[in-house]
Amino acid sequence: MANGYSTVSVFIIGTEITRGIIADKHGQLIAKELTTLGYHVNRITIVPDDGTIAPLLRDCVRLTDIILLTGGLGPTSDDMTRDVVAELAGVPLVRDEAAFAHLYGRIGERIYGANLRQVMIPQGFRIIENPKGTAPGFAGELPVEEGSGEFRHVRCYAMPGPPVEMHEMFYHRILPELAQLTGHEGIGRNEYSCFLTPESRLEDLCSECAVGPVLWGTRVQEYRISLYLNGGTSDQRSEMASRISERLGKGLLVPGDVEVVDLFTRLLEEKGLTAASAESCTGGLIGKLLTDREGSSAWFWGSVVSYANDAKVRLLSVDETTLKTHGAVSGQTVVGMARNLRELSGTDMTIAVSGIAGPGGETPDKPVGTIWIGYAVKGREPVAVRLQISSFGRSSVRRRAAIAAILLGSFHLNGADLLDIVGTWQYI
Amino acid sequence: MANGYSTVSVFIIGTEITRGIIADKHGQLIAKELTTLGYHVNRITIVPDDGTIAPLLRDCVRLTDIILLTGGLGPTSDDMTRDVVAELAGVPLVRDEAAFAHLYGRIGERIYGANLRQVMIPQGFRIIENPKGTAPGFAGELPVEEGSGEFRHVRCYAMPGPPVEMHEMFYHRILPELAQLTGHEGIGRNEYSCFLTPESRLEDLCSECAVGPVLWGTRVQEYRISLYLNGGTSDQRSEMASRISERLGKGLLVPGDVEVVDLFTRLLEEKGLTAASAESCTGGLIGKLLTDREGSSAWFWGSVVSYANDAKVRLLSVDETTLKTHGAVSGQTVVGMARNLRELSGTDMTIAVSGIAGPGGETPDKPVGTIWIGYAVKGREPVAVRLQISSFGRSSVRRRAAIAAILLGSFHLNGADLLDIVGTWQYI
């Protein structure tokens, strides 16, 4: 590459991995993204937290242009990354005052001695902020003597090990920087968020919908999959995204880094509406997701988790005849739950969910994954819609039932016809 | 170890892995099995099929006792493992006649030149049969000069990359041999689960409570920290665990791989009791955690997430005067929530939680992290207990409030005095 950066060595630090307790996932994720950008990954090395990294890094700088490290940035004595890098760079560790102020803001007087280690970085390096945790990352250059007094500089990036922190830092700070370094400012990249779709299905769709030289990568998160389209022209990437979106169905692929919960809560805030939920199979997950958001008390009244039928009757006055005739998993039941909760709570809208999360509990006409979702909105007739979610286990069905209920809640607030939306969903 | 074999370095060869196309799974599998046998895995390195392995192996032999290689044994020119090992051993490649006969038996006259490469091994090495494929593995010793003409020998095993072939060879040939080498004496190891405690605090406690040669490691999970004590005698590990447990407080460190939710739900199942919850700041998380368990419908009635004060009044008949006089975060409120829900639901026990998850909402005497937890159990007076959880952010406070409520629920069901328990909790 024009600027001379091309070979990358990746180091993953974690004794849980070299002891086989957990599997490393960072290596593949980093390798995939960097390969897409045109880098050559010449090794992924996993080492324990015991300083083994030191001689390996020393040997490695001779053979690479860029070093990426994950892990070993925590507060404990095992977390030696910063010491090892400082020693290799031949500089002392110094306290970064901005990082100290940030950590102090987060945890205040509980900054123990151990926590303080987290705001030390090798002198001359710069902090990379960690919005999802306490340990910042850092970046800088390691001098390598090339003989006859000449020096070459190896770029070095250190990231925390916990996936949620590492992903944020890698995707939003380090990867953009490395993309720019390749001089491929021309390598365009778009990010999308995909909901409710199994990963294997999305991968197949990407193959089927490929356009020209556009490459793709996916990242499975707890409540969605991030899809990255790289290369080609902006039009080609848009074309590919449109094709995938059309195949998936309405509203399941949206541009950007977006959670379904945010789509819904932003809409409530914009419209100045209040809401409540009535849950059965999701067991409290909808309430949990909505109240994860700071400030949710401004618009969230509560969630009635009526798990047992008796709870549906006592808490939500669902008609016992309805339960007997149509069952707890039925349009009539979720409409009753939504309507009665709206009356009880006085909120502007309610969401109700009842379904078969499994294992067990299915009937011939209601297999595992059958989900009924109902809505009651002030001044409108209550509605209900049925979904059939493919079962990848109890936890997956519950997660997708909650996400579908919140996503369709946004559509319903915007006046869309739910049957029209759900009818286009092919692969949930 | 008596025989001097202890440190193992693992190399995985495969360009599909360093390009991020597939994930490596051999590394974890090998690491786990060898760790169990008492070996120390000092690195798992993944390299492309391009010969990068050569300098890494050369550097590695100085630092290890055993080398395990997977991949690079196929018939193509990318498959360089046998050449690299032969060069490092300082011997030529020779044809193994038994392997040749075996391959001939399998593919007969279709032995091409390329296939023939597969029956070449470094001179002095021995073949390891591959019942599932064409490329045999091999094993032998690499001499390492230790200075002053002394040599040490590093054992080297090479296995094919395809999982079905590698698994057969690893489990049935190589692992038994490595187990015999150790005399089957794994180092002792105990696992514990630690609840509610910040990682940095647990780490400090481990340092303070260290016993003899016992080493420790921690793994942060979503709702607990796993603590591993390794080495020393069984008595020494128990002594260290007792010391840590005493410093943490009652019930916060338990032996084994245990979730708080399981402690509670097992107790309900044993005693044949039903339960319900009333939540405020946890927003549904308690219901979600309890219903994560299959079969929870046998004992779980539901959860009333009364997030707004109005919901506490309407759903749970909490006295408005109580809310006004003592506030939503008070012993009186959670006792009211628990007692009224028990009457309404007819369950055997109820858990109620109200607290300040932040950010914001605190008062001078109720800072962020103030949590009140109440219980109502059939035939007993309702009780409430106050906790002050140190704040590492909204999500952490909510998680720990839910876990504390479920954990104390077990103690309460067993008749323990909650103030007595909570009074010993030093570092939550």
Is the pLDDT at B339 greater than 70? The verdict is yes
How much is the mean pLDDT over chain A?
91
Taking one residue from A and the other from B, the number of pairs with CB-CB distance under 8 angstroms is: 264
Is the pLDDT at B278 greater than 90? The verdict is yes
- The CATH class given to the A7-181 domain equals alpha beta
- Residues B97-150 pLDDT 10s: 888 887 777 777 666 666 777 888 999 999 998 888 878 999 999 999 887 788
Is the pLDDT at B30 greater than 80? The verdict is yes
Segment 319-338 of chain B within 8 Å of chain A by CB = none
Residue A3's pLDDT band (cuts 50, 70, 90): very low
Topology of domain A260-422, CATH: Maf protein (3.90.950)
Segment 140-199 of chain A within 8 Å of chain B by CB = 162
Q: What mean pLDDT do residues B281-286 have?
A: 98
pLDDT for B203 equals 84
> What b/e readout covers A134-161, taking b as 16+ CB neighbours within 10 angstroms?
bbbbbbbebebeeeeeeeeebbbbbbbb
Is the pLDDT at B412 greater than 90? The verdict is yes
Q: Which of A271-285, A386-400, B413-427 has the highest mean pLDDT?
A: A271-285
Q: Which of A89-98, A366-375, B145-154 has the highest mean pLDDT?
A: A366-375
Segment 288-307 of chain A within 8 Å of chain B by CB = 288, 290-292, 294-297, 300-307
Q: What mean pLDDT do residues B229-248 have?
A: 92
Mind telling me how many Å the CA of B5 is from chain A's nearest CA? 17
Same fold: B7-181 with B260-422 = no
The shortest CB-CB distance from B43 to any of A27, A56, A308 is to: A56
The shortest CB-CB distance from A284 to any of B305, B308, B360 is to: B305
Is the pLDDT at A379 greater than 70? The verdict is yes
Which has more confidence, A355 or A99? A355
Residue B221's pLDDT band (cuts 50, 70, 90): confident
Q: In chain B, what residues touch A75 (CB-CB under 8 Å)?
A: 199-200, 203
- Reported ipTM exceeds the 0.85 cut: no
As a whole number of angstroms, the distance between CA A421 and CA A413 comes to 13
Is the pLDDT at B2 greater than 70? The verdict is no
Domain ranges of chain A: 7-181, 189-255, 260-422
Q: What mean pLDDT do residues A268-293 have?
A: 97
| Strands A66-70 vs A151-159: parallel, antiparallel or unpaired | parallel
Q: Record the pTM.
A: 0.72
As a whole number of angstroms, the distance between CA A252 and CA A389 comes to 14
Residue B77's pLDDT band (cuts 50, 70, 90): low
Is the pLDDT at A1 greater than 70? The verdict is no
How much is the mean pLDDT over chain B?
90
- Residues B344-375 pLDDT 10s: 999 999 999 999 999 988 999 999 999 999 99
Residue A2's pLDDT band (cuts 50, 70, 90): very low
Is the pLDDT at A99 greater than 90? The verdict is no
Contacts of B325 (CB under 8 A, 6+ apart): B332
Q: How many Cα atoms within 13 Å fall on the side-chain side of residue B175?
A: 16
As a whole number of angstroms, the distance between CA A144 and CA A61 comes to 7
- The CATH class given to the A189-255 domain equals alpha beta
Is the pLDDT at B25 greater than 60? The verdict is yes
As a whole number of angstroms, the distance between CA A64 and CA A88 comes to 15
Q: What mean pLDDT do residues A373-398 have?
A: 94
Residue A183's pLDDT band (cuts 50, 70, 90): low
Is the pLDDT at A371 greater than 60? The verdict is yes
Q: What are phi and psi of A24, to 5 degrees?
A: -75, 135
Contacts of A176 (CB under 8 A, 6+ apart): none
As a whole number of angstroms, the distance between CA A186 and CA A174 comes to 18
Q: In chain A, what residues touch B354 (CB-CB under 8 Å)?
A: none
Is the pLDDT at B16 greater than 70? The verdict is yes
Q: Do A28 and B17 lie within an 8 Å CB cutoff? A: yes
As a whole number of angstroms, the distance between CA A375 and CA A337 comes to 9
Contacts of A314 (CB under 8 A, 6+ apart): B344, B345
- Chain A's closest residue to B219, CA to CA, is A16
Peptide bond into A359 cis (omega under 30): yes
Could you give the angle at the alpha carbon of A182 between the alpha carbons of A176 and A188, nearest 5°? Answer: 55
Could you give the angle at the alpha carbon of A77 between the alpha carbons of A75 and A82, nearest 5°? Answer: 70
The shortest CB-CB distance from A288 to any of B55, B285, B297 is to: B285
- Residues A120-168 pLDDT 10s: 899 999 999 988 887 889 999 999 988 778 888 999 999 999 999 999 9
Is the pLDDT at A4 greater than 70? The verdict is no
Q: In chain B, what residues touch A58 (CB-CB under 8 Å)?
A: none
- What does chain A come to in residues? 428
- Is residue A401 a contact partner of residue A282, using CB atoms and an 8 Å limit? yes
Q: What are phi and psi of A58, to 5 degrees?
A: -60, -45
As a whole number of angstroms, the distance between CA B201 and CA A229 comes to 42
Which has more confidence, A198 or B26? B26
